[in-house]
C-alpha cells in the first residue's frame, strides 16, 4: 500500500508499519512534499467569496434540530411545539431565503429519534421506539408521510438505537442490527428503491471492537464501519459486500467518527491528530489531504470541502482536485463548528456550532445560547 502526501515530491522513504489489515508488518512508501509546493490561484475566480451571512432565528435552537437542505435555497428541521389540545408535538418546519422566519408545514409522530435527512432532501430516516423495540422510520418531505419499514430479515434480529446513515445517492440506509446468540452486531441496509432490507455479518479479521456506525457506497457493494475498541480507541474498517457477509480488506485508526465515500473506490476519514486521509482501494494508496483538522464536510458532488482546524476558531473552504485541496480560504471567524451542510448547488453552507469562548471538547452539554446556526452564501 502507498502512503502518499500529495504535491511536488522531494523525499521518498520506505518504512515498516503495523497499521492496516491484520496481516503483519508491511512496506509503505511515504512521499513527503517539497516545502516549495505552491498551487497557483486564479485571482479572478476565487471559488469562495462570501456574499452574505444569514443568522437564523434564535427560536430554532430552543427545541429541535436542523436537518439540512431540502432545496438549494431552503433548509428544514424538526421542532417541538406545545399546545393545550395535543400537548407536545413534533413539527416539520422550513426556512427559506432570507431565513428570517420559520414556516410550519405539518406535525409528524414524535416517537422517533436519531433523525437524518437524505442527501437529496426528500426523506428523513429515524429510529422509532415501540413496545416491541426499535423500528426504522422514513418520513417523506414535504408531504410528511410516515412509513415504518421492515429493517430486519428474521425474528432473531433487532434494530439498535443508533443513528442510521444515508448513502450519498440517497438510495440506501445503513444501520446496526443485533442478532440473537451473536456477540457482534451485524449491519443492516434498506434499499429505498427495491423497498427491501438485507442484513450482513462481519468477516475478515479479529473484530476486537463494537460497531457504532456504518456507511454504504452508492453502488451498494462496499461498506465503511466505525468500530469502538474501548481503551484502544476507534478504527474505520472497509469491506466488500459478498453474499450475506461483509469481507474486510482494510482498517485504520481514527480520531473521530467522520467518514465519507468520495466515490465507489475512495473514501476519506480523520486519523489521529487530525490528519484527513483519503484511501484508494484500487491501488491501496493512502494520501494526506489536510493536517490538524478538527471537523470537515464535503459538498454533495464531492468537489468542495468546508473544514476547521484544531485549536482554531476559523472556518475554511477549499476545492478538492485529485488528491489536493486547492484555493483554501477562511470564510468565517469566531465559531467552532459542530455540524455543516452544503446546499445541493454548493452555493450555501449551513453551519451550527459554538462561540469561540466555549471550549470545543467539554463534557458538559452546550446550552442553547451557545449554538449559533447561520448560513454562508457565496458569490
pLDDT for 205: 59
Average pLDDT over residues 278-300: 96
pLDDT digits (tens, 9 = 90+) for 140-160: 998 889 999 999 999 999 999
Cβ atoms within 10 Å, residue 265: 14
Give the C-alpha separation, 32 to 9, whole Å.
Answer: 6
pLDDT digits (tens, 9 = 90+) for 28-50: 444 434 333 444 444 445 778 99
pLDDT for 357: 57
For the chain, state the CA radius of gyration.
Answer: 21
pLDDT for 62: 64
Residue 361 DSSP SS3: coil
Give the C-alpha separation, 62 to 77, whole Å.
Answer: 12
Nearest alpha-carbon partner for 70 in 149, 8, 143, 123: 123
pLDDT digits (tens, 9 = 90+) for 161-172: 888 999 999 999
Nearest alpha-carbon partner for 276 in 233, 323, 212, 322: 323
Min mean pLDDT across 49-58, 242-251, 363-372 is at 363-372
pLDDT digits (tens, 9 = 90+) for 311-322: 899 999 999 999
Contact 192, 138 (CB under 8 A): yes
CATH number assigned to the domain covering 150-281: 2.130.10.10
Per-residue cell: 269: 476519514
- Band (pLDDT 50/70/90 cuts) for residue 3 is low
Min mean pLDDT across 32-46, 78-92, 123-137 is at 32-46
Higher pLDDT, 284 or 231: 284
pLDDT digits (tens, 9 = 90+) for 95-120: 999 999 889 888 887 777 899 999 99
Per-residue cell: 313: 476558531
Average pLDDT over residues 356-379: 65
pLDDT for residue 67 is more than 60: yes
pLDDT for 22: 44
Min mean pLDDT across 77-81, 86-90, 126-130, 156-160 is at 86-90
Min mean pLDDT across 89-98, 265-274, 278-287 is at 89-98
- Band (pLDDT 50/70/90 cuts) for residue 4 is low
pLDDT for residue 303 is more than 60: yes
What's phi and psi for 267, nearest 5 deg? Answer: -140, 160
Residues 6+ apart with CB under 8 A from 321: none
Average pLDDT over residues 54-66: 80
Cβ atoms within 10 Å, residue 150: 11
Higher pLDDT, 9 or 74: 74
Percentage of the residues of the chain whose pLDDT score is greater than 90: 62
pLDDT for 358: 47
- Band (pLDDT 50/70/90 cuts) for residue 232 is confident
Average pLDDT over residues 243-254: 95
Give the C-alpha separation, 318 to 349, whole Å.
Answer: 13
pLDDT for residue 208 is more than 80: no
pLDDT for 39: 46
Per-residue cell: 213: 456506525
pLDDT for 182: 82
What's phi and psi for 201, nearest 5 deg? Answer: -90, 160
Higher pLDDT, 322 or 85: 322
**245-254 and 196-203 as β-strands: parallel, antiparallel, unpaired?**
parallel
Cβ atoms within 10 Å, residue 16: 9
pLDDT for 231: 82
The full set of domain ranges for the chain reads 150-281
pLDDT for residue 8 is more than 90: no
pLDDT for 11: 37
Residues 6+ apart with CB under 8 A from 305: 296, 297, 298, 299, 317, 318, 319, 320, 325
Contact 314, 330 (CB under 8 A): yes
Give the C-alpha separation, 190 to 197, whole Å.
Answer: 4
pLDDT for residue 80 is more than 90: no
Q: Where are the beta strands (DSSP E) in 161-229?
A: 165-166, 172-179, 186-191, 196-203, 210-216, 222-228
Give the C-alpha separation, 337 to 352, whole Å.
Answer: 6
Amino acid at each position: 500500500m502507498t502512503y502518499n502526501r500529495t504535491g511536488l515530491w522531494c523525499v521518498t522513504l520506505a518504512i515498516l508499519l503495523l497499521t492496516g489489515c491484520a496481516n503483519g508488518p508491511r512496506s509503505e512508501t511515504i512521499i513527503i512534499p517539497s516545502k516549495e509546493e505552491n498551487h497557483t490561484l486564479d485571482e479572478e475566480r476565487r471559488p469562495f467569496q462570501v456574499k452574505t451571512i444569514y443568522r437564523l432565528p434564535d427560536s430554532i435552537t430552543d427545541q429541535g434540530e436542523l436537518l439540512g437542505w431540502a432545496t438549494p435555497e431552503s433548509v428544514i428541521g424538526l421542532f417541538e411545539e406545545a399546545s393545550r389540545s395535543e400537548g407536545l408535538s413534533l413539527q416539520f418546519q422550513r426556512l427559506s431565503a432570507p431565513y428570517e422566519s420559520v414556516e410550519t408545514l405539518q406535525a409528524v409522530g414524535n416517537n422517533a429519534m436519531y433523525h437524518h435527512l437524505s442527501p437529496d432532501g426528500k426523506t428523513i430516516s429515524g429510529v422509532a421506539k415501540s413496545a416491541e423495540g426499535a423500528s426504522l422510520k422514513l418520513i417523506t418531505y414535504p408531504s410528511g408521510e410516515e412509513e415504518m419499514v421492515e429493517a430486519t430479515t428474521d425474528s432473531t434480529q433487532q434494530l439498535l438505537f443508533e443513528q442510521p446513515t444515508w448513502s450519498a445517492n440517497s438510495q440506501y440506509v445503513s444501520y446496526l442490527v443485533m442478532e440473537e446468540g451473536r456477540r457482534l452486531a451485524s449491519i443492516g441496509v434498506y434499499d429505498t428503491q427495491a423497498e427491501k432490507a438485507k442484513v450482513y455479518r462481519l468477516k475478515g479479521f479479529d473484530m476486537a471492537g463494537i460497531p457504532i456506525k456504518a456507511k454504504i457506497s452508492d453502488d451498494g457493494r462496499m461498506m465503511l464501519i466505525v468500530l469502538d475498541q474501548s481503551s484502544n480507541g476507534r478504527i474505520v474498517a472497509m469491506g466488500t459486500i459478498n453474499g450475506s457477509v461483509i469481507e474486510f480488506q482494510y482498517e485504520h485508526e481514527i480520531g473521530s467518527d467522520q467518514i465519507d465515500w468520495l466515490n465507489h473506490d475512495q473514501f476519506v476519514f480523520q486519523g489521529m491528530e487530525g490528519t484527513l486521509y483519503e484511501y484508494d482501494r484500487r491501488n491501496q494508496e493512502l494520501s494526506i489531504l489536510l493536517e490538524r483538522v478538527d471537523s470537515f464536510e464535503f459538498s454533495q458532488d464531492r468537489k468542495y470541502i468546508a473544514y476547521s482546524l484544531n485549536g482554531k476558531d476559523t472556518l475554511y473552504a477549499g476545492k478538492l482536485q485529485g488528491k489536493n485541496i486547492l484555493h483554501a480560504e477562511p470564510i468565517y471567524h469566531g465559531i467552532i463548528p459542530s455540524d455543516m451542510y452544503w446546499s445541493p448547488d454548493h452555493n450555501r453552507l449551513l453551519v451550527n456550532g459554538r462561540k469561540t469562548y466555549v471550549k470545543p471538547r467539554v463534557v458538559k452539554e452546550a446550552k442553547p445560547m451557545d449554538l449559533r446556526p447561520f448560513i454562508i452564501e457565496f458569490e
